[in-house]
Amino acid sequence: MKYKIIKHPLHIAIDGPVASGKGTISALLSLRLGIIYIYTGGMYRALALSCLRNQVTTANETDVLAQLQKISITLSPKVNGDSSCLVFLNGEDVTHEIKKPNIAQTAPLVAKIPEVRKHMVLLQQQLAKNTSVIMEGRDISLRVLPDAQLKVYLDASIVERAQRLFLLWQKQGISTSIEDARLAAKERDAHDQSRSVDPLQKTPDAQVVQTDGMKPDEVVDAIINKLIAQKLIEPV
């Protein structure tokens, strides 16, 4: 089924903890609606990758900011066969490399730096300017797109999220365990929820979708129903 966007530009903000399904759901929703999907977390991960490659200590904010000024981080959001959002570091496609566990562990350390967040938020807002987008991350509803017409907070139990991380790492050929995945998810939650600037939180106007036991298409259907109910889109 195809859908007509009633109000342009349509901004859909999707937030949630690690492995709650944000990326998968955003990509599928992008295909269903025919609008751009923007993976904001990829920007922080690209910076983390650059810091690791150049042996920049992430605890040193001055060094991290200096590294940020030296590099180019770009996203290539587009609607294609898999609605991928590619991440480029100095022109190099690092989309797959930044999904590795060591990058996931380092990203929160650079993401908590206030000046880094300020820089990234401005870039993300520019991407959405006058354009219909589905943007996912951890501060989209709160900071990046505070006026988004639909704000969704995707959630899932720690058991479910650990299983998803474990399967993702297995697919990448990384030897790990469910317990490692559970600990990684809990550590990331602690970083995201406790940082002083724009911590992960459910905003009062966000609609919570608990994804435990739901197939991705079922989650997308639930979001589409919310869009229809708010008269933001209509079937055609």
- Provide the b/e sequence for 62-72 (b: ≥16 CB within 10 Å): eebbebbeeee
Q: Which two tokens stand for residue 8?
A: 């342009």
Is residue 77 pLDDT above 80, yes or no?
no
Render pLDDT for 211-221 as a digit per residue (tens, 0 to 9): 999 999 999 99
- Tens digits of residue pLDDT in 131-164: 999 999 999 999 999 999 999 999 999 999 999 9
Predicted confidence band at 76 (pLDDT cuts at 50, 70, 90)?
confident
Quick check: 182 and 158 in contact, CB under 8 A?
A: yes
CB atoms within 10 A of CB 136: 28
Q: Which two tokens stand for residue 60?
A: 């040193």
Q: Which two tokens stand for residue 125?
A: 């807002």
- The H-or-E segment that residue 34 falls in is none
Task: Output the six-digit token pair for 217.
Answer: 């298409």
Dist CA 48 CA 108 (whole Å): 9
Contacts of 219 (CB under 8 A, 6+ apart): 21, 25, 154, 209, 211
What pLDDT score does 78 carry?
Answer: 65
Report the alpha-carbon distance of residue 198 to residue 81 in Å, rounded: 33
Question: How far, rounded to the nearest angstrom, does the alpha carbon of residue 148 sit from its chain's CA centroid?
Answer: 16
Q: pLDDT category, 101, cuts 50, 70, 90?
A: confident
